[in-house]
Structure 1
Amino acid sequence: MTPLHAKLTRDLWRMKGQAIAIGLVIAIGVAMQVMMTGLVLSLTETRNAYYDRYRLADVFAPLARAPERVAETLARIDGVAQVETRITGMALVDIAGRDLPVSARTLSLPEHGAPRLNDILLTAGRMIDRSRPEEILLLDGFAAANGLRPGDRIRTTMNGARRSLLIVGTAQSPEFLYTTAPGEFVPDDARFGVIWMNRSVLAAAYDLEGAFNEALVSLTRNAREEAVLDAIDRVLSPFGGPGAYGLADQFSNRFVSEEIAGLEVSSTGVPPIFLAVAAFLLYIVISRLVQSEREEIGLMKAFGYRNGEVGWHYMQLVLTIALGGALLGCLLGIAAGRAMIPVYTTYYKFPFLLFRLEPASFLTGIATSVFVASIGGLFVLRRIFRLAPAEAMRPPTPPDYSRTGRFGAGLSQWLDQPSRMVLRRITRQPGRMAGAVFGIAAGMGLSLGMLTIYEGFDVALDRTFNVIDRSDATVTFAYPASDKTILELARMDGITLAEPVRQVPVVFRNGRLDHQGAITGLAPGAHLFRALDANEQPIALPERGVVLSTALASILALEPGDPVTVEVREGSQPVLTVPVTGIADSLMGSPAYMDLAALNRLLGEPGRVSGAYLAVDPDRQASVHAALKDMPVVAGVSLRTEALAAFQTIMDSGAGSIRYVMGFMAFIITFGIVYNAARVAQAERSRDLASLRVIGFHTGETAFVLLGELAVVVLAALPLGILIGRSLSSGIAAGFSTELYQIPVIFAPQAQGLAIAVVVAAALLSGWLVKRDIDRADMIEALKTRE
Structure 2
Amino acid sequence: MKALNYKLVRDLWKLRGQVIAIALVVACGIAIFIAMISAYQSLAASQSAYYQQYRLAQVFAQLKRAPEPLIEQIQAIPGVAQVQSRVVVDVTLDVPGQKEPAIGRLVSVPEQPIPILNDLFIRQGRYLEPGRAEEVLVSEAFANANHLKIGDRVGAIINGRWQQLSIVGIALSPEYVYEIRAGDVLPDNQRFGVFWMGRKALGTAFNLDGAFNDLALSLSPQTNPEAVIFQLDQLLKPYGGFGAYEQADQISTKFVTDEITQLRSHAMIVPSIFLAIAAFLLHILLSRLIGTQRDQIAILKAFGYSNWSVGWHFLKLVLVIVFLGGAIGTGVGLWMGSGMLKMYTQYYHFPNLNYQISLGLVLGAIAISASAAIIGAFVAVRHAVSLPPAEAMRPEPPAHFRRTLMERLGLQSFLSPVGRIILRNLERKPIQALLSIVGIALAIAMLIVGRYSQDAISYLIDVQFRLMQREDVTIIFNEPRSASVRYEVDHLPGVLYSEPFRIVAVRFRNQQYTHQLGIQGLVENGQLHQLVDQQLNPIPLPIDGILLTAKLGEKLHIRTGETLTVEVLEGDRPTRYVKVAGLVDDLVGLSAYMERRALNRLMQEGETSSGAYLAVDAAQLDRLYALLKQTPAIASVNLRKTTIERFQKTIADTRQIMNAVEIVFACIIAFGVVYNAARIALSERSRELATLRIIGFSRVQIAVVLLGEQAALTIAAIPVGFLVGYGLVVLLSIAYNTELYRLPPIVTSASYAFAVIVVTSAAFISGLIVRRKLDHLDLVAVLKTRE
State the TM bucket, normalised to the shorter chain: over 0.9
The correspondence of residues 666-677 of structure 1 with structure 2, limited to 5 A, is 666-677=666-677
Match of 1:178 in 2: 178
CA offset at residue 705 of structure 1?
A: 1.6
Distance across 2 between alignment mates of 1:107 and 1:536:
42
CA RMSD of aligned residues (A): 2.1
TM-score under structure 2 length normalisation? 0.96
Match of 2:337 in 1: 337
- AA in 2 matched with 1:773: K
Question: Residues 571 and 460 from structure 1, CA distance in 2 versus in 1: closer, same or farther, beyond 3 angstroms?
Answer: same
The correspondence of residues 222-233 of structure 1 with structure 2, limited to 5 A, is 222-233=222-233
Question: Residues 361 and 507 from structure 1, CA distance in 2 versus in 1: closer, same or farther, beyond 3 angstroms?
Answer: farther
Is the partner of 2:410 in helix, strand or coil? Answer: helix
Is the partner of 2:119 in helix, strand or coil? Answer: coil
Match of 1:415 in 2: 415
- AA in 2 matched with 1:530: Q
- AA in 2 matched with 1:293: Q
Match of 1:73 in 2: 73
CA offset at residue 616 of structure 1?
A: 0.9
Match of 2:607 in 1: 607
Per mean C-alpha deviation after superposition, the further-off stretch among 255-264 and 738-747 is: 738-747
Per mean C-alpha deviation after superposition, the further-off stretch among 748-757 and 376-385 is: 376-385
CA offset at residue 562 of structure 1?
A: 1.6
Match of 1:745 in 2: 745
Please list the CA deviations of residues 712-740 of structure 1 after superposition, one character each: whole Å capped at 9, or x if unmatched. Answer: 00001011111111211111122233322
Match of 1:167 in 2: 167
Distance across 2 between alignment mates of 1:505 and 1:658:
38
Distance across 1 between alignment mates of 2:191 and 2:541:
32
- AA in 2 matched with 1:264: R
CA offset at residue 408 of structure 1?
A: 6.6
Per mean C-alpha deviation after superposition, the further-off stretch among 519-528 and 387-396 is: 387-396
Is the partner of 1:470 in helix, strand or coil? Answer: coil
Please list the CA deviations of residues 517-553 of structure 1 after superposition, one character each: whole Å capped at 9, or x if unmatched. Answer: 2211112222111122222232222232110112222
* 1:266 correspondence with 2:269: no
Match of 1:633 in 2: 633
* 1:44 correspondence with 2:57: no
Question: Residues 382 and 342 from structure 1, CA distance in 2 versus in 1: closer, same or farther, beyond 3 angstroms?
Answer: closer
Match of 1:510 in 2: 510
CA offset at residue 234 of structure 1?
A: 1.5
Is the partner of 2:335 in helix, strand or coil? Answer: helix
Match of 1:754 in 2: 754
Per mean C-alpha deviation after superposition, the further-off stretch among 615-624 and 245-254 is: 615-624
Distance across 1 between alignment mates of 2:398 and 2:493:
90
- AA in 2 matched with 1:770: V
* 1:715 correspondence with 2:715: yes
Match of 1:467 in 2: 467
CA offset at residue 127 of structure 1?
A: 1.4
Is the partner of 1:685 in helix, strand or coil? Answer: helix
- AA in 2 matched with 1:421: I
Q: Decide whether the 8 Å contact of 1:183 with 1:476 is kept in 2.
A: no
Is the partner of 2:113 in helix, strand or coil? Answer: coil
Is the partner of 1:130 in helix, strand or coil? Answer: coil
Q: Decide whether the 8 Å contact of 1:481 with 1:608 is kept in 2.
A: yes
CA offset at residue 115 of structure 1?
A: 4.6
Match of 2:33 in 1: 33
Per mean C-alpha deviation after superposition, the further-off stretch among 406-415 and 461-470 is: 406-415
Match of 1:658 in 2: 658
Q: Decide whether the 8 Å contact of 2:315 with 2:381 is kept in 1.
A: no
CA offset at residue 403 of structure 1?
A: 5.7
Please list the CA deviations of residues 482-504 of structure 1 after superposition, one character each: whole Å capped at 9, or x if unmatched. Answer: 33222211122421112111222
Percent of aligned pairs with the same amino acid? 41
Distance across 2 between alignment mates of 1:516 and 1:309:
66
CA offset at residue 512 of structure 1?
A: 3.2
Question: Residues 441 and 771 from structure 1, CA distance in 2 versus in 1: closer, same or farther, beyond 3 angstroms?
Answer: same
Distance across 1 between alignment mates of 2:53 and 2:676:
52
Match of 2:731 in 1: 731
Q: Decide whether the 8 Å contact of 1:91 with 1:105 is kept in 2.
A: yes
Distance across 2 between alignment mates of 1:2 and 1:183:
70
Q: Decide whether the 8 Å contact of 2:125 with 2:170 is kept in 1.
A: yes
Distance across 2 between alignment mates of 1:61 and 1:431:
65
- AA in 1 matched with 2:52: D
Distance across 1 between alignment mates of 2:36 and 2:152:
41
- AA in 2 matched with 1:635: A
Distance across 1 between alignment mates of 2:725 and 2:641:
34
Question: Residues 637 and 406 from structure 1, CA distance in 2 versus in 1: closer, same or farther, beyond 3 angstroms?
Answer: closer
CA offset at residue 698 of structure 1?
A: 3.2
- AA in 1 matched with 2:80: V
Distance across 2 between alignment mates of 1:140 and 1:384:
64
Is the partner of 1:227 in helix, strand or coil? Answer: helix
* 1:237 correspondence with 2:237: yes
Is the partner of 1:396 in helix, strand or coil? Answer: coil
Is the partner of 2:700 in helix, strand or coil? Answer: helix
Please list the CA deviations of residues 47-103 of structure 1 after superposition, one character each: whole Å capped at 9, or x if unmatched. Answer: 010111111111111111111111121111110111111111011111233332101
TM-score under structure 1 length normalisation? 0.96
Per mean C-alpha deviation after superposition, the further-off stretch among 272-281 and 46-55 is: 272-281
Distance across 1 between alignment mates of 2:409 and 2:459:
49
Distance across 2 between alignment mates of 1:595 and 1:660:
43
Q: Decide whether the 8 Å contact of 1:100 with 1:626 is kept in 2.
A: yes
Is the partner of 1:226 in helix, strand or coil? Answer: helix
Distance across 1 between alignment mates of 2:252 and 2:749:
38
Q: Decide whether the 8 Å contact of 2:86 with 2:108 is kept in 1.
A: yes
- AA in 1 matched with 2:220: T
Distance across 1 between alignment mates of 2:247 and 2:540:
36
Distance across 2 between alignment mates of 1:578 and 1:19:
65
Distance across 2 between alignment mates of 1:300 and 1:374:
22
Q: Decide whether the 8 Å contact of 1:279 with 1:373 is kept in 2.
A: yes
Match of 2:134 in 1: 134
Distance across 2 between alignment mates of 1:145 and 1:462:
26
Q: Decide whether the 8 Å contact of 2:454 with 2:655 is kept in 1.
A: no
Per mean C-alpha deviation after superposition, the further-off stretch among 652-661 and 265-274 is: 652-661
Match of 1:574 in 2: 574
Distance across 2 between alignment mates of 1:596 and 1:538:
17
Please list the CA deviations of residues 343-383 of structure 1 after superposition, one character each: whole Å capped at 9, or x if unmatched. Answer: 11112112221222366654554334333433343323433
Match of 2:54 in 1: 54
CA offset at residue 405 of structure 1?
A: 7.6
Unaligned runs of 5+ residues in structure 2 are: none
Is the partner of 1:632 in helix, strand or coil? Answer: coil
- AA in 2 matched with 1:775: D
The correspondence of residues 486-565 of structure 1 with structure 2, limited to 5 A, is 486-565=486-565
CA offset at residue 584 of structure 1?
A: 2.0
Per mean C-alpha deviation after superposition, the further-off stretch among 675-684 and 485-494 is: 485-494
Is the partner of 2:155 in helix, strand or coil? Answer: strand
* 1:703 correspondence with 2:685: no
Question: Residues 511 and 672 from structure 1, CA distance in 2 versus in 1: closer, same or farther, beyond 3 angstroms?
Answer: farther
CA offset at residue 696 of structure 1?
A: 4.2
Q: Decide whether the 8 Å contact of 2:283 with 2:380 is kept in 1.
A: no
Distance across 2 between alignment mates of 1:180 and 1:482:
29
Distance across 2 between alignment mates of 1:270 and 1:575:
47
- AA in 2 matched with 1:18: Q
Match of 1:282 in 2: 282
